[in-house]
Amino acid sequence: MTATRTLVWSAALLLVAGQTGGAQPGGAQRGRGGADMPLSLDAAADRVFAQFNSTHSPGCAVGVRQSGRDLLMRGYGMADLETNVPILPSTILESGSVAKQFTSTAIALLMKDGKINIDDPVRKYIPELPEYPRPLLVRHLLSHTSGLREWSNLVAFAGWPRGTRTYTQADLLEFVVAQKSLNYPVGDFYSYTNTGFALLVTIVERTSGMSFVQFTDERIFKPLGMTNTRWRDDFTTVVPGRAQAYSRRADATNPWALEMPFDNVHGPGGLLTTVSDWLKWNDHLDKKTLGANVVDSLTKQAVLTSGRTISYARGLTVARYRGIDEIAHSGSTAGYSTHLARYPANNLSVAVMCNAAGANATLFTHQLVDVIVPNLAPVVAQDTVAPDMNAAAKLAGVYRSSRTHEPLVIGGAGGRGGRGGPIRAVRGGGWLIGNNSAVFETAPDGSPRGVRVVGADNDTTAYTFVAAGPWTPTPEQLASFAGRYRSDEVGTTWTLKVENGKLVASLRSALKAELAPVYADAFAGGGILGTVWFTRDAKGAVTAMHSGSARVWDFTFTREK
């Protein structure tokens, strides 16, 4: 079989959805007499992955398993555009963050061995970490409630973002140990960070006396028959059957570029595997092969210090999809995009692994579930109405996040929120920004003071109204920010200059970030610096530059005298 003959590479039997454990089709095709016929799972998958049905694009591998039986094993698109190798169900791709459940399992096995306690202080195993005001426990690393700053942001602040240098576990640990502050007090919030899972790797190694690679291979992969699974602990290793990863670029004649992960950090991600091995893994979770205590610990949802339970557990998310329980995780690294989901009540697992940056593996999973599972709850649209134009206009302006100082721009009726999409009115009162509820605080005259945006797990972020419109600084105001800003936590000094009427931050000629004004003393700093804002002393002189983003809330660079 060659790629020019067929673009779909299948190890599945052609199976109508009505034969997959009683599932009813989510769509239909027309028969000769015009009657609706059940849409086969293969045909549904062809529709879902149609955009990758080409010998000129990367694509996806997909596997579906129900009640111990493979319903679908297919590949779409190409694993290697240079050598014209297609994606097969046996193609090895990289996991992204789906790997976190395996790192969590390693910790659970050591708990079973009596070598780790979930409530142990992390400094018991990594004493070189700073001592924080509130103890950092192992459970906080597993659930993204540690407050630790994201390591990939830190190396970017140091001037060498991921992909520009090779990083190891030792490099990562050095950056994390140097941090004097957390994003927030331990346990107070959920904020996704790979740093916590990277520290778990060190804990596994120090308590087991083995390398993380050896421990997981001997205790997880080999016992479960996951023969095509290994960690990317040395990115230079040749891995037969591995798909290259790609991202799009603006070149009609050559629209795809290689985008591979070139570092050796693994544990938060970096698992090389296949959809078949992932489905084996989910089978073993259902059977609790590694022990009930080990498997059940993975789905124990975290509780914040406020008492609020969140959907994130220990390397897995426990949620609902259209009325059914879903235990899942998505992943993205370099040009790879993945999703692995388990639906226990339906004895169903779906694995999707893509080698195209931006491929929505989670959406693809759900589109297949829509076909397989009968009687799913309907998707309920938000009950919105035409807004009061005057009321919406009064809410327009720029708001500042109380956490990260990131701006939220609200343009009134039909306008767009800076980070959340359109503002819409809800029937019976209230507003939506994107799909999130928004509660505005206003003065007696109706002018805005702030807004609270309710996100996932009822996490509420407060924003303060700061201006009616974008800030336009004068040349003198821009010049006041020029100078050198130092952080010993990353060992770097950024230089700010005004160039052609723009404020520019640079570390060297090859690394520059143009800062775009958003509100007074604050700028959008691009992909590296996030939102940048400045603080002043009592006399009004600028004393520090700060960077804020979802994974590093407030990082300070002090202005040099």
Residue 538 sits in a domain whose CATH number is 2.40.128.50
Task: Over range 251-269, report the average pLDDT.
Answer: 95
For residue 37, being part of any structural domain is answered with no
- H or E element in which residue 347 lies: none
For residue 5, being part of any structural domain is answered with no
- Give yes or no: residues 363 and 342 share one domain: yes
Q: List the domain range (segments joined by +) for residue 424.
A: 384-467
For residue 201, being part of any structural domain is answered with yes
> Nearest-CA neighbor of 116 among 269, 311, 293?
293
- Give yes or no: residues 253 and 193 share one domain: yes
Report the first-to-last Cα separation within the chain, whole angstroms: 69
- Give yes or no: residues 121 and 178 share one domain: yes
Predicted structure pTM score: 0.91
Q: Is 77 left (phi over 0), alpha (psi -120 to 50) or beta?
A: left
- Give yes or no: residues 551 and 485 share one domain: yes
Q: What is the pLDDT of residues 198-215, one digit of tens each?
A: 999 999 999 999 999 999
- Give yes or no: residues 325 and 452 share one domain: no
Q: Is 558 exposed, middle or buried (0-12, 13-18, 19+ CB in 10 A)?
A: middle
Task: Over range 116-123, report the average pLDDT.
Answer: 98
- What CATH number is attached to the domain comprising 450? 2.40.128
Total domains present in the chain: 3
For residue 263, being part of any structural domain is answered with yes
Q: 520: how many CB neighbours lie within 10 A of its CB?
A: 14
Q: 258: how many CB neighbours lie within 10 A of its CB?
A: 13
Whole-number pLDDT of residue 36: 42
Whole-number pLDDT of residue 160: 93
- Give yes or no: residues 367 and 254 share one domain: yes
For residue 31, being part of any structural domain is answered with no
Q: What is the pLDDT of residues 33-84, one digit of tens each?
A: 343 445 699 999 999 999 999 999 999 999 999 999 999 999 999 999 999 9
Position 85, amino acid: V
Cα(271)–Cα(229) distance, rounded to whole angstroms? 7
- Give yes or no: residues 257 and 398 share one domain: no
Final residue of a domain: which of 372, 402, 423?
A: 372
Q: 500: how many CB neighbours lie within 10 A of its CB?
A: 6
Cβ-Cβ contacts under 8 Å for 558 (sequence gap 6 or more) = 485, 486, 487, 543, 544
